[in-house]
């Protein structure tokens, strides 16, 4: 009987020890599971932040592009008043809708206004044209008309008008917002700068 008593405490102790080890193992498994779940949540959060950041960068990029090529909605009369402060421009001859059709091949009724100055002499190529379109879908065809006009001018002076051809090679054609712009001459860059600064 005494021998059984000595064995029983050891057996009981052993059983109690095994129970504690199993409990610790289960606690460790739960802790690992919580850690893994936390890691997954952190990874998801990081991915969401990265996605939001990329979307914001894309929006900023698009806004910068739009503003770079955009223009405020001002009238052709406002632009005319600004551009006509340049005496070099008003030294040229102001042209009508009939001239617009004759030289550029476009109908003024199709657009929302225009400003057209051209050198009076047929041997000079200096000119400035600003057209406001009714719809932006018109800009593509209008740009083609302006490019064709410049090319036709080059052909007219080919072989004998070296100075005129040089100016035509530096012609500026620009479309932004609801406007198309053409400038030829030594003042072309200055006219464009004045125009862009006014409409932006």
**16 — pLDDT class (breaks 50, 70, 90):** very low
Q: Do 49 and 99 belong to one domain?
A: no
Q: Do 95 and 157 belong to one domain?
A: yes
Task: Check whether 154 has a pLDDT greater than 90.
Answer: yes
The residues with which 182 forms a beta bridge, in sequence order, are: 129, 173
The angle that helices 162-169 and 139-157 make with each other, rounded to 10 degrees, is 160
Q: What is the pLDDT of residue 89?
A: 97
Which range of residues forms the domain containing residue 42?
1-69
The structural domain count of the chain equals: 2
The neighbour count for residue 58, using CB atoms within 10 Å, is 10
Of 69, 87, 121, the one marking the end of a domain is: 69
Q: What is the pLDDT of residue 82?
A: 98
Task: Check whether 131 has a pLDDT greater than 90.
Answer: yes
Of 30-34, 42-46, 170-174, 186-190, the least confident: 30-34
The residues with which 175 forms a beta bridge, in sequence order, are: 180
Of 69, 89, 110, the one marking the end of a domain is: 69
Report CA torsion sign: 106, 108, 110, 111: positive
Q: What is the pLDDT of residue 13?
A: 45
The full 3-state SS of 129-143, as one line of letters, equals: EEEECCCHHHHHHHH
Of 46, 69, 92, the one marking the end of a domain is: 69
Q: Do 26 and 62 belong to one domain?
A: yes
Nearest to 101 by CA among 112, 93, 92, 110: 110
């Amino acid at each position: 009987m005494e021998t059984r008593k000595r064995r029983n405490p050891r057996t009981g102790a052993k059983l109690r020890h095994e129970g504690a080890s199993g409990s610790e193992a289960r606690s460790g498994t739960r802790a690992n599971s919580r850690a893994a779940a936390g890691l997954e949540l952190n990874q998801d959060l990081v991915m969401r932040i990265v996605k939001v950041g990329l979307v914001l960068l894309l929006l900023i990029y698009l806004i910068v592009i739009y503003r770079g090529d955009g223009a405020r909605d001002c009238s052709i009369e406002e632009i005319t008043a600004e551009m006509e402060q340049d005496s070099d421009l008003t030294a040229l001859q102001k042209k009508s809708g009939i001239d617009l059709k004759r030289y550029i091949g476009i109908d003024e009724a199709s657009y929302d206004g225009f400003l057209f100055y051209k050198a009076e002499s047929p041997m000079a190529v200096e000119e400035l044209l600003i057209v406001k379109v009714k719809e932006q879908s018109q800009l593509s065809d209008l740009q083609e008309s302006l490019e064709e006009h410049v090319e036709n001018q080059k052909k007219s002076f080919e072989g004998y008008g070296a100075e005129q051809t040089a100016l035509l090679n530096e012609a500026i054609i620009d479309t932004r917002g609801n406007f198309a712009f053409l400038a030829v001459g030594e003042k072309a860059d200055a006219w464009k700068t004045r125009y862009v600064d006014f409409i932006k």
